[in-house]
Amino acid sequence: MTGGRGPCRYQDPRHQLRDQLSTTLEGSPSVVVLDLEALDFSDSTILGVLVAAHRWAQGVGAVLRLATPPHSCDDS
What integer pLDDT is reported at residue 4 of this predicted model?
Answer: 47
β pairing state of 6-7 and 2-3: antiparallel
Residue by residue, pLDDT tens for the chain (76 residues) are 334 455 555 667 777 877 887 888 888 889 989 888 877 777 787 788 888 888 988 998 999 998 887 665 555 5
> Which residues, including other chains, have CB under 8 Å from residue 10's CB and lie 6 or more apart?
1
SS3 percent helix, strand, coil of the chain, rounded to 5, is: 40, 20, 45
Q: Which residues pair with 35 in a beta bridge?
A: 67
Q: Report the predicted TM-score, pTM, of the whole model to 2 decimal places.
A: 0.63
